[in-house]
């Protein structure tokens, strides 16, 4: 399968990787932002939303800060959203966003950034357990794909991780990455990631197997 196949597919994705202050690192949130924007721009998804608890300024789409504003802008025709909750934490803030999207028609993609901050969210649990399994287009809850972004994937439960069969490592190989992959019995995949990764590059694994390492996304997505 090609990189495009993974971009356009329906399986949920766990994005993790190194974070640092220098050029040797690279961007989980930037990758998710690019992925969601491209999904809507190319018609792979009818609606895209980045749940942006840190208020990152480069996230593309219409910035909304409440469910009322989200609904209003959807009615006005917007289909790409940067949702900024009132705080950087709290399942009680995340779940209603998912519930709102469940009521909207069409195929959707959500990037759950900083997911460890609301790991107990019922909305996150539903998204990964059921959100991608609704294939009947007559149902308003069909086709919600999730990109789950977190620096340390073991901060999420094993159940959540298991429901994201595509796991992506962004940036250079680190001891934390080695620890996670080996704990998931993906040591062989990690060996291939180590050989091919680098600053801002992102490596795709599928069901525990290494697939490929992709080039960095365009730099303007981080600006």
Show Cβ contacts of residue 17 under 8 Å, excluding neighbours closer than 6 positions. 26, 28, 151, 168, 169, 170, 171, 177, 202
Q: How far is it, in rounded angstroms, from Cα 154 to Cα 13?
A: 15
The CATH number of the domain holding residue 102 is: 3.40.50.300
Cβ atoms of residues 185 and 206 within 8 Å: no
Structure tokens at 36: 């969601």
Higher pLDDT, 145 or 1: 145
The model's pTM is 0.93
The per-residue pLDDT for 138 is: 47
Q: Which of 19-23, 136-140, 151-155 has the highest mean pLDDT?
A: 151-155
Of 203, 215, 111, 221, residue with least CA distance to 166: 203
Burial (0-12, 13-18, 19+ Cβ within 10 Å), 23? exposed
Dihedral pair phi/psi, residue 192, rounded to 5°: -75, -35
pLDDT higher than 70, residue 1? yes
Q: Tell me: the pLDDT tens digits for 172-209?
A: 999 989 999 998 899 999 999 999 999 899 999 999 99
pLDDT tens digits, one per residue of 167-181: 999 999 999 899 999
pLDDT at 137: 46
Query: What is the total count of domains within the chain?
Result: 1
Q: What angle do CA 115, 120, 126 make, to 5 degrees?
A: 85
In this predicted structure, the answer to whether residue 100 has a pLDDT above a threshold of 80 is yes
The parent domain of residue 55 ranges over 3-222
Compare 1 and 4 and report the one with higher pLDDT. 4
Taking each helix axis from N to C end, the angle separating 175-183 and 187-196, rounded to the nearest 10 degrees, works out to 150
- For residue 202, what are the β-bridge partners? 170, 214
Please give the average per-residue pLDDT across 23-44, as a whole number: 90
């Amino acid at each position: 399968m090609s990189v495009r196949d993974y971009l356009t597919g329906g399986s949920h994705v766990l994005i993790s990787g190194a974070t640092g202050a220098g050029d040797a690192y690279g961007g989980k949130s930037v990758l998710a932002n690019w992925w969601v924007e491209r999904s809507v721009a190319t018609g792979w998804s009818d609606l895209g939303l980045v749940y942006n608890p840190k208020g990152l300024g480069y996230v593309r789409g219409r910035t909304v800060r409440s469910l009322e504003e989200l609904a209003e802008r959807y009615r006005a025709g917007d289909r790409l959203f940067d949702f900024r909750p009132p705080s950087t934490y709290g399942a009680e803030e995340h779940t209603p966003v998912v519930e709102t999207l469940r009521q909207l028609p069409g195929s959707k993609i959500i990037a759950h950034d900083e997911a460890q901050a609301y790991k107990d969210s019922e909305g996150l649990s539903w998204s990964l357990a059921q959100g991608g399994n609704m294939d009947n287009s007559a149902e308003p809850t069909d086709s919600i794909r999730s990109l789950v972004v977190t620096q340390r994937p073991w901060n999420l439960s094993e159940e959540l991780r298991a429901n994201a069969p595509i796991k992506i490592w962004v940036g250079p190989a680190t001891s934390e990455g080695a620890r996670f992959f080996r704990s998931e019995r993906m040591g062989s995949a990690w060996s291939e990631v180590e050989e091919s990764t680098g600053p801002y590059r992102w490596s795709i694994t599928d069901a525990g197997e290494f697939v490929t390492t992709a080039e960095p996304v365009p730099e303007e997505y981080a600006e």
